[in-house]
Amino acid sequence: MNKLFRRIAAPAALATGIAASATMVQTIRTPIPAVDAQAAQALPGADVLASSFRQASQVALQGVVYVQVEAAPRQARQQMPFEGTPFEDFFPGMPAPGGQAPRLGSGSGFIISPDGYIMTNNHVVESATRVTVQLTDRREYNATVVGRDPNTDVAVLKVEAENLPTVKIGNSNLLDVGDWVLALGYPLSLGETVTAGIISAKGRSIGIMQRPGQVGASPVEHFIQTDAAINPGNSGGPLVNLRGEAIGMNTAIASTTGTYTGYGFAVPIELAKRVADDLIRYGSVRRPKLGVQISGTTPADVEVFGLSQASGAVVRGVQAGAARDAGIQLGDVIVAIDGQQIRDDGDLLERIALRQPGERVTLEVVRYGERRRLDVELGAFENQVTEEAPSTAQPARGDVGTLGFAAAELTPALANQLGIRGQSGGVVVTEVDRASGAPTGLVGMRIERLNGEEIGSVEDLRRVAGRLDAGDVVSLIGRTQDGEQTIINYRVRE
Q: Residue 50 pLDDT > 60, yes or no?
A: yes
The DSSP annotation for 192-235 comes to SEEEEEEEEEEEE----S--TT--SSPP---EEEE-S---TT-T
Residue in 340, 335, 355 with CA at minimum distance from that of residue 271:
355
The DSSP annotation for 88-152 comes to TTTSTT-PPGGGTSPEEEEEEEEE-STTSEEEE-HHHHTTEEEEEEE-TT--EEEEEEEEEETTT
Residues 444-458 have a mean pLDDT of 89
Q: Which residue has the higher pLDDT, 355 or 381?
A: 355
Residue in 110, 380, 355 with CA at minimum distance from that of residue 234:
110
CA distance 256 to 243: 33
CA distance 438 to 220: 25
Residues 382-404 have a mean pLDDT of 46
**Phi, psi at 58, each rounded to 5°:** -65, -40
What residues are labeled active site?
Answer: 123, 153, 235
Query: Could you tell me whether strands 292-296 and 333-337 are parallel, antiparallel, or unpaired per DSSP bridges?
Result: unpaired
Which of 18-32, 192-206, 398-412, 431-445 has the least mean pLDDT?
18-32
Distance of CA 83 to the CA centre of its chain: 20
Q: Which of 23-37, 96-110, 306-320, 437-451 has the highest mean pLDDT?
A: 306-320
DSSP state, residue 167: P
**What spatial distance separates the first Cα and last Cα of the chain, rounded to whole Å?**
28
> Percent of the chain at pLDDT above 90?
44
Which of 325-329, 412-416, 457-461 has the least mean pLDDT?
412-416
Q: Write the pLDDT tens digit of every residue in 190-214.
A: 889 999 999 999 988 877 665 544 4
Helix (H) or strand (E) holding 408: strand 405-409
Please provide the size of the chain in residues.
494
385: confidence class by pLDDT, cuts 50, 70, 90: very low
CA distance 229 to 259: 9
